[in-house]
Amino acid sequence: MDYIQTMRRLIGNELLMTVGCGIIIEQDGHILLQHRKDRDVWGIPGGVMEPGETFLETAKRETFEETGLMVGDLTLFGLYSGAEGFAEYQNGDQVFSVQLVFHTVQFSGRLLQDAEESHAHHFFSKHDLPALNVHQARFIDDWVNGSARPIIK
């Protein structure tokens, strides 16, 4: 059982603070996004840190689990906090997440299309983005706008 499931058994739907790590994977000026199964939106691969993991371990593990890709040469893209980190899910679970976002152009492996948490993965240009996960839109907007890095919000 993972950390989030264990905590949910103890606190139910009450607010839980988490650390999330994601990666902007870029290829030829395009960003890799995943179409989530839990919501009809697109976002970057990533997920919640497990106790004992480093930021990089979390980002790499979550990216591999969700995309089938192994990533390397990660650089810090941004640190995100604030009201945008609050979410309430359809089941009533509340979470406030601080996000560390990395960037890379180095990856290998076979890109999964239908994975446990996503319907599909696709590289999008900055000018043709789909409906974005509202909790990740600011990361992606910062990428689109070429904001100076690392970003701290």
CA distances from 105 to 50, 112, 140, 145 (A): 25, 18, 15, 18
Q: Enter the CATH code of domain 3-152.
A: 3.90.79.10
Per-residue pLDDT of 104-121, as tens digits, reads 999 999 998 777 777 889
Contact 24, 63 (CB under 8 A): no
For residue 49, give the 3-state DSSP assignment: coil
Residues of the chain above pLDDT 70, percent: 99
Candidates 59, 75, 74, 84; CA nearest to 153 is 84
Regarding beta strands 94-104 and 16-27, do their DSSP bridges make them parallel or antiparallel, or are they unpaired? Answer: parallel
The Cα 73–Cα 55 span in angstroms is 14
Candidates 105, 99, 112, 110; CA nearest to 150 is 99
The Cα 150–Cα 48 span in angstroms is 20
Candidates 61, 56, 136; CA nearest to 99 is 136
| The one-letter amino acid at 31 | I
Per-residue pLDDT of 38-90, as tens digits, reads 778 899 999 999 999 999 999 999 999 999 999 999 999 999 999 999 999 88
Per-residue pLDDT of 126-144, as tens digits, reads 999 999 988 899 999 999 9
